Structure 1
């Protein structure tokens, strides 16, 4: 396939934006109530060894992706089967994010406009990114992250007068069980979703930097998610934070500086568009890379258009309502995704370590 490269800084930027994705608008960890900010910290702590597991798996064969490594570790047929599972996961995740975007736009801004219209616009934008190559996406991510960080932290600064520290007191009022449930939700959405990058991180310019990119991307992305969730809880309180559909939008609506600085709801919309664009594009990249590997195509771009259109079609039909979308995201997704995020990578890593110790290093005896 066509060889592309991105720098470590661009890789970290993409991971951060991927984690921000739809999380900043939908919120996460609401199961923990006012202790959601603690749940995010616990989830980040558990996610660190998991992303190190992804990194180690990729380090077994520097410069190769998850689809190649699956075939090397488990053999051609079984490895292609695992590859198909991860193609589905990336495809499914991309469709979910597209629908998140459509529901947000339809609920907040354009209630009379069919959801398929903004969803189609996002998919076409992501398709353009995939056709242009991940190098273009990496450069956009590096610049876009700076803009989004300025907007996010400026917004947090403007919300300081609206914060009430009593909204997070007392700590651990309901015990550790809600925090555990909230941490599981945050772990699966969005931290461990970064397993999708295992399908595209063969493009890193420095092959030995996979640990640095993955870990720094996770930690910085988690810090941003924590800061926004902490702000939302302080401003909205537990009742609103855990019941409203889009807490970021409701939080930003509270900004009113002398009746002059107000109506800044466009900021979470911009953050959602920027992060969602990156997240869907990475999912589309990973699915197309995987199909090209499994089908032995020379260039992943030849399947980009049909995959993008199928992803759009799935996103349109996957839910019957907004409430069904939220119910799936917070009640079903953590358990469904755990298989792809933890169990399969763990199996691949154990098998890969055994094969590596037997002296059958990836790329030495496997021609993929």
Structure 2
């Protein structure tokens, strides 16, 4: 394994924090209200086949990264169109996530600080990290993930006095339309967004099992998000859906005597760390995709300009927090084609083209490196 390659454990942690990212801040509530736990369970089942699709796309032409496999599977014109759509989706979600975390910092801790200054500060650190290569972000993720696991578990235990099991009742009493909407929302935000972290697997250790890495990262994210949702709902009840940052509000009730208070500061750190990793992954995907589209050998020269583009979009995406959450509510509607339909289409077309490719043209395929396990 090269020094710049990412190990399986590092990739699992990066995928987990990427998925946790903004959902840990927004709380994961859906129209299903107290039945959102059922929607989350359904979403984790639905994402397994999609993770398999992404792992198979990465194996269409061994030795090539995600975007290169799309070009080879669809051909240059169609592959270019699909890559551009994925890049636009990454830029859009990147702008929303960056704005979400800047609003969190602004509202909770730095009310007198202009949002643009917070955005610029986060973006500057992201540029520095990605210019140091992706493996630096992956190593940070491996270090941060255990801390988030422990802090979520501790806050769950310490908030037991404020919990009320009646907040989960009546069980499965939501309307079918609300349950379906909740499943779609839980599936789209965040699980189907793994399409935008798939390009990272181009620097994954060749001996790693791609599909298993996807599954473990998704499982780690699910454990964190499901635990946080139960904590928020049991403590806040129906009011959880009315708060902008329910995780922060739920933990703020924890108090042990007069000496152990303000533990929500730890949760604030968790949210910022997870959001930082997610923003970094989205920035990398945007830069890597643009590098492939424009024929650059390396994404490095694009980091700064793409960061400025995302920064500008995050300022323009909404006027305030209310408008920002309206964007997030509409995200499943226009993200579904990019995150679900396009990957399935790429895999089907790629398999068909490989199967019916004429023997005379097989020599055009790129030289296969040591294939990853699936």
Q: What TM-score range do you get, normalising by the shorter chain?
A: over 0.9
**TM-score, normalised via structure 1 length:** 0.95
**TM-score, normalised via structure 2 length:** 0.93
Aligned Cα root-mean-square deviation (Å)? 1.9
Alignment of 1:262-277 (within 5 A): 262-277=261-276
Preserved CA contact (<8 Å) 2:7 2:208: no
2:179 corresponding residue in structure 1: 179
Return closer, same or farther for 1:209/1:217 CA change in 2, 3 Å cut-off.
same
1:302 equivalenced with 2:301 (yes/no): yes
- Gap runs ≥5 in structure 2: 368-374
Preserved CA contact (<8 Å) 2:152 2:227: no
Q: Distance between the aligned counterparts of 2:181 and 2:353, measured in 1?
A: 36
Q: Distance between the aligned counterparts of 1:207 and 1:92, measured in 2?
A: 33
Return closer, same or farther for 1:110/1:10 CA change in 2, 3 Å cut-off.
same
Q: Distance between the aligned counterparts of 1:65 and 1:3, measured in 2?
A: 18
2:372 corresponding residue in structure 1: none
Cα offset, 1:154, TM superposition:
1.3
Preserved CA contact (<8 Å) 2:18 2:274: yes
Return closer, same or farther for 1:50/1:80 CA change in 2, 3 Å cut-off.
same
User: What secondary structure sits across from 2:31 in the alignment?
Assistant: helix
Of residues 340, 348, 351, the one that matches 1:350 is 348
Q: Distance between the aligned counterparts of 2:243 and 2:197, measured in 1?
A: 31
Preserved CA contact (<8 Å) 1:24 1:268: no
Return closer, same or farther for 1:268/1:110 CA change in 2, 3 Å cut-off.
same
2:142 corresponding residue in structure 1: 142
1:153 equivalenced with 2:153 (yes/no): yes
> Could you tell which deviates more after superposition, 72-81 or 340-349?
72-81
2:102 corresponding residue in structure 1: 102
State the Cα deviation string for residues 197-247 of structure 1 (Å, max 9, x = none): 222211110255110111111122112101100111001012x11111110
User: What secondary structure sits across from 1:256 in the alignment?
Assistant: coil
Return closer, same or farther for 1:350/1:360 CA change in 2, 3 Å cut-off.
farther
Alignment of 1:1-368 (within 5 A): 4-206=4-206, 209-238=209-238, 240-330=239-329, 332-358=330-356, 365-367=364-366
Q: Distance between the aligned counterparts of 2:328 and 2:91, measured in 1?
A: 16
Cα offset, 1:367, TM superposition:
4.9
State the Cα deviation string for residues 171-220 of structure 1 (Å, max 9, x = none): 01224332221111111111111111222211110255110111111122
Preserved CA contact (<8 Å) 2:52 2:211: yes
Cα offset, 1:348, TM superposition:
0.3
Q: Distance between the aligned counterparts of 1:307 and 1:360, measured in 2?
A: 40
Alignment length (residue pairs)? 365
Preserved CA contact (<8 Å) 1:158 1:255: yes
Cα offset, 1:9, TM superposition:
0.5
